[in-house]
A and B are shown apart, each in its own frame.
Chain A
Amino acid sequence: MAINWFKYSAPSTFYALAGKLIPWFAVSAAMLFAVGLYIGFFVAPVDYQQGEFYRIIFIHVPASILSMFLYLVMAAYAALGLIFNTRLSAMMATAIAPTGALFAFISLWTGALWGKPMWGAWWVWDARLTSELILLFLYLGYMALHSSIDDPRRADRASALLAIVGSVNVPIIYFSVKWWNTLHQGSTIKFSGTSMHVAMQQAMFITLAACWLYAIAVVLARVRSIILEREHQTKWVAELSEVRT
C-alpha cells in the first residue's frame, strides 16, 4: 500500500493527525515509565561497586542519549526545511529544540547528583558531562537565535543553518573534549558495563523507550501549537472547533 506522505506534510492534515496520535504516545510513555522505574528501583539488584546510587542511570542515560539524538533529528528536520522549503519540517525542528534542551539539562542534573556520592563533587569535568554541557549551549544558541528573529521564515531558515553547522561540529567537539579529557587524566563515568544485570538492562531499555515516546508526544503537541500560531490567518484554522469556542 502506497502512503501519500506528502499529504501529511501539509500543516492542516498533520495538525489533525498529530492530535489523534498524541494520546497514544503519551499514555504508552507514562506506562513504560512506570514499568521501567519499577524494575529499576525494586527489581534490579544493588550494584556491588556503587550501591544504590547507580539507579540514577535509569534517568541519566536515556536523557543523555535522547539529548544527542534529538539534536541530530532537529538538524535533519532543519536541513529538510531549508533544502525543500517545507514549512512543516521547519516547525518540527523548532518544536524539538526545547525538549532536547530539557533532556540535556536533566542529563547534567542527574550526572551532578550521581557525581556527589561517587566523586565527592557535584561537578567533575568528565568528557561526557562536558560534551553534554556544550550540547546544552548549542540548544540554547539555537533557541536564542530563533526567538530573536521576528520574521518566522527568516527565523526558521537562519536557525536551520545554525543547527546544520552545529551538527557538523558536534563530532569535532565530542572528539576534542575526549582528547582534552585524556590529556588531563580526568575521571570518566564508568558503569560496570559487562556485568550489567538483566533487570538493569531491561529497566534501561524500557525507560529509554518511554523517553522516546514522551519526546514524540511533547514535540507533536508543540508542533500543533506552532501550526496554530503560524497559520492563524488561514481558513482551516478559523474553522477548527477548538479555535472557534
Chain B
Amino acid sequence: MKELTLFSMLKLVIRRDMILAMRRRADVLTTLIFFVMVVSLFPLGVGPEMEMLRKIAPGVLWVAALLASMLSLGRLFSADHQDGTLEQMMLTPQPLAVIVLGKIVAHWMVSGLPLVLIAPVLGIQFDMQAETLGILILGLLLGTPVLSMIGGIGAALTLGLRGGGVLLSLLVLPLCIPILIFGTAAVDAVATGLSPVSHLSLLGALLVLALTFAPWVAAQALRISME
C-alpha cells in the first residue's frame, strides 16, 4: 500500500466528483438549461433587432454564465457536508487545499465547461460573427474557471447557512465583476477591429492568480465553517 502523492489525490478527487456528477446528470443539465433559457429571454425582452442583439450578445452571455455558475455553486461542498464526507476529506494526510482544488476543477468541468461548449450555439442566435464568437469562447474558457474558484470561496464561507444560495450570490457576484468586464471587453475589441490580446491576457493573469490563492483561501474558509 503506497502513499498517495498530491497529484494522485487531485486526480482521485476529480474522478470521484465526476462520477458523482454523472450519476446525477439532472443537476448538470439544469444549470445548462438555465443558461440557455436566460440567454433566450433577452431577445424577447429587448426586441429582435439584429444590430442591437449583436451588440449586447457578449454581455448577455457573460452575465448569464455568471448567474448559471452561481446556481450550481451551492452544491460544491454542501452535499459532502451533509453526509459527513467533508469531515473525512479534512482528515486526509494531504493539504485540504489540494482536495478543494480538485473539487473546484471537477465542478468547473461539469458546470462551467458545458456553458462554454454551448455558448457558440447561443451566439449564433444573437447573430455573432465567427471572429467575435471565437474570442467570446476563449474568454469564457479563461474566465469561467475563475468564477468557479472565487465561487468556491463563497461556497465554503456560506456552508450550511440558512438561505445560503442567495447569500452566496451576494458575496461572490461583486468579486466577479472584473472577469465580466475583461471578458466582454475582449469581444468588443474584436468587434471594433482592435486586438483582444490585452484583455485575454488579463483574464489569464486573473486565472493564474485565482489558481494560486483561491484553493488555499477556500480551504481556510471550510475550516472556519466546519467548527
Interface assignment of A173: CB less than 8 Å from any CB of chain B = yes
Tell me if A154 is interfacial: C-beta within 8 Å of chain B.
Answer: yes
Chain A interface size, as a band, is 20 to 34
Q: Which residue of B lies closest to A137 (CB)?
A: B174
CA A169 to CA B217, docked complex, whole Å: 13
> A62 interface residue, CB < 8 Å from B?
no
How many angstroms between the C-alpha atoms of A153 and B225 in the bound complex? 10
Show 6 residue pairs from A and B whose CB-CB distance is below 8 angstroms, ordered by the A residue. A138-B174, A158-B224, A165-B153, A165-B217, A175-B178, A179-B185
Determine whether the beta carbon of A176 is less than 8 Å from that of B178: yes
Q: Is A172 an interface residue (CB 8 A)?
A: yes
Provide the residues of chain A in CB contact with B188, threshold 8 Å. Answer: 183
Q: For A175, list chain B residues within 8 Å (CB).
A: 178
Evaluate contact between A161 and B170: CB separation under 8 angstroms.
no
Asked if B177 is at the interface of the complex by the 8 Å CB criterion, the answer is yes
Question: Cβ of A162 and Cβ of B161 under 8 Å apart?
Answer: no
- Report if A148-B163 is in contact (Cβ < 8 Å); known contacts: A158-B221, A158-B224, A177-B181: yes
In the complex the two chains form, is A179's CB within 8 Å of B181's CB? yes
Contact B157 A158 (CB under 8 A): yes
B178 adjacent to A158 (CB under 8 Å) = no
Complex Cα gap A186–B178 (Å) = 17
Check A169/B181 contact, CB under 8 A, given A154-B224, A161-B217: no
Q: Which 5 A-B pairs have the closest CB atoms?
A: A176-B178, A137-B174, A141-B171, A176-B181, A157-B224
Q: Find out whether the CB atom of A140 lies under 8 angstroms from the CB atom of B170.
A: yes
The interface of chain A, by Cβ under 8 A from chain B, is: 134, 137-138, 140-141, 144-145, 148-149, 151, 153-154, 157-158, 161-162, 165-166, 169, 172-173, 175-177, 179-180, 183
A183 CB contacts on chain B under 8 angstroms: 185, 188
Chain B 139-159 interface mask (CB, 8 Å, partner A; 1/0): 000000000000001000110
Pick the contact of A144 from B170, B177, B220, B227 — CB < 8 Å?
B170
How far apart are the CA atoms of A151 and B225 in the complex, in Å? 10
Q: Which residues of A contact B220 (CB under 8 A)?
A: 161
Give every chain B residue within 8 A of A166 (Cβ-Cβ): 174-175
**Are B177 and A177 interface neighbours, CB within 8 A?**
yes
Residues of B within 8 A of A169 (CB): 175, 178
In whole angstroms, how far apart are the Cα atoms of A138 and B227 in the complex? 25
Other-chain contact of B157, A138, A153, A161, A176 (Cβ < 8 Å)? A161
B24 at the interface (CB under 8 A from A): no
Question: Across the interface, which residues of B come within 8 angstroms of A158, CB to CB?
Answer: 157, 221, 224-225
- Please tell me if B173 contacts chain A, counting CB pairs below 8 Å: yes
Contact A148 B161 (CB under 8 A): yes
User: Please, how many angstroms separate the alpha-carbon atoms of A172 and B213 in the complex?
Assistant: 15
Residues of B within 8 A of A176 (CB): 177-178, 181-182
Q: How far is the CB of B227 from chain A (nearest CB, A)?
A: 6
